[in-house]
Structure 1
Amino acid sequence: MAIRAFGAELPTWVDDEVAAARAGLGSDEGRMRLLNRLAERNIAEGSGGPFSALAVRSGSGEVVAAGVNLVLASGLSSMHAEVVTISLAQARLGTWDLGALDDPLELWVNWRPCAMCYGATLWSGVRGLVVAGDGPELEALTGFDEGPMRGDWAQQLEARGVRVRVGVLTDEAVAVFERYGADPDVTVYNARTSSGV
């Protein structure tokens, strides 16, 4: 029998967390604190890895969509936080180009994108990407393999019209990854090791 549909469902607790943080979402720190809280809760709920994202209108600051990594909950390797959030924003707004709006969207993430989400960010049309950090800490602390990212990834996005900002509450994001990596019961869902074995 052919399978003709697939998908993932965002847990209702994500909406609860966004609503609880609403008063602080007008500031950079408030948005990143929400992302770190979503990542932490995603671990506790067992939905996926310690990753979260927001789609935000660049002018008004309205949060259009929030998402978390749903790889474990959905069984779909593509359900990273960025892909989930971009997809929710596109479905809500009825467009594949999130940069062609009167108030274009930017993507907020609790670390720099992996190889897949880098492409998803570019093709979504968002006009900005804000990340907590972009160094080797994530992979070193969690064991995740983020893929063959270019060293000049941010410059490549900038050259294609996506403003990149790095360094909002970096230490708080790293603390989430430290707790994740220290837990012997978490799942690191790399399909292959970095050596290709």
Structure 2
Amino acid sequence: MESLRLVIALPPWCEELERVGERYEAPLDRMRVAIALSRRNVEEGSGGPFGAAIFEASSGRLVAVGVNSVVRLNNAVLHAETMAVMRASARRGSFTLASSTGGGEEGEGGKGGEPLELYTSCEPCAMCLGAILWSGLRRVIFAARRDDAEALGFDEGPVFPDTFAYLRRRGVSVEAGPLREEARAVLASYRAAGGAIYNG
């Protein structure tokens, strides 16, 4: 009988970049972590050109990272953002990343922690925006734009101006951030390496 166990693991090299508790006070430095993850994922051949990291909003303390693992783990939902959300939730011991209370350890966005925010190397797709909403995160900052990913052939799904209006009404801010060109360079390197475009 087949096991009912489901294992979702980040690539081993992520340990080098997931310096939990380390502070990244400047927004540029936080975005650099997300882009470094995306770049390394391409270099290692361990997934698509997308990386994400969750930080405590005020302190800049790193909580969790995620990289695209769709092809490596044969699972269509394992985008960088969803991986980071799952990792942060597991670390907190809570299904919500919304408030400064919950399970987990002090200084890891858990009990006694502070609100969390997600930095991602590329504008989130429709699925990831849904996951972000349900996770309780209230702020998302991205580098490369949706158009940049779609230029490679990725389908970002049904994301419309009304989508962002809805998220704003629900208290979720999704913002274009810095370092777009650095993130676009990672996308270009993925294309040059013949990386899989795995939608549908």
Please give the TM-score of this superposition, normalised by the length of structure 1: 0.87
Asked if structure 2 preserves the Cα contact closer than 8 Å seen for 1:55 and 1:65, the reply is: yes
Report the counterpart of residue 93 of structure 2 in structure 1. Answer: 94
2:125 is matched with which residue: 114, 117, 135? Answer: 114
Task: Give 1:112 shift.
Answer: 1.1
Residue type matched to 2:95 in 1? W
The structure-2 alpha-carbon separation of the partners of 1:53 and 1:146, relative to structure 1 and needing over 3 Å to count, comes to same
Moved over 4 A (4+): none
Alignment of 1:17-96 (within 5 A): 17-19=17-19, 25-96=24-95
Among all aligned residue pairs of Structure 1 and Structure 2, give the percentage whose two residues are the same amino acid: 40
| SS state at 2:174 partner | strand
Structure 1 portions without partners, runs of 5+? 192-197
Report the counterpart of residue 115 of structure 2 in structure 1. Answer: 104
Task: Give 1:7 shift.
Answer: 2.5
The structure-2 alpha-carbon separation of the partners of 1:157 and 1:173, relative to structure 1 and needing over 3 Å to count, comes to same
Residue type matched to 1:87 in 2? M
Which 10-residue stretch deviates more, 153-162 or 80-89? 153-162
1:23-59 per-residue CA deviation (whole Å, 9 max, x = no partner) reads 7x22111111221111111012222100111111112
Number of equivalent positions: 186
Residue type matched to 2:44 in 1? E
User: Which whole-Å CA distance do the structure 1 matches of 2:149 and 2:135 have between them?
Assistant: 24
Task: Give 1:2 shift.
Answer: 4.8
Structure 2 portions without partners, runs of 5+? 102-113
Report the counterpart of residue 8 of structure 2 in structure 1. Answer: 8
User: Which whole-Å CA distance do the structure 1 matches of 2:163 and 2:179 have between them?
Assistant: 20
Please give the TM-score of this superposition, normalised by the length of structure 2: 0.86
| SS state at 2:38 partner | helix
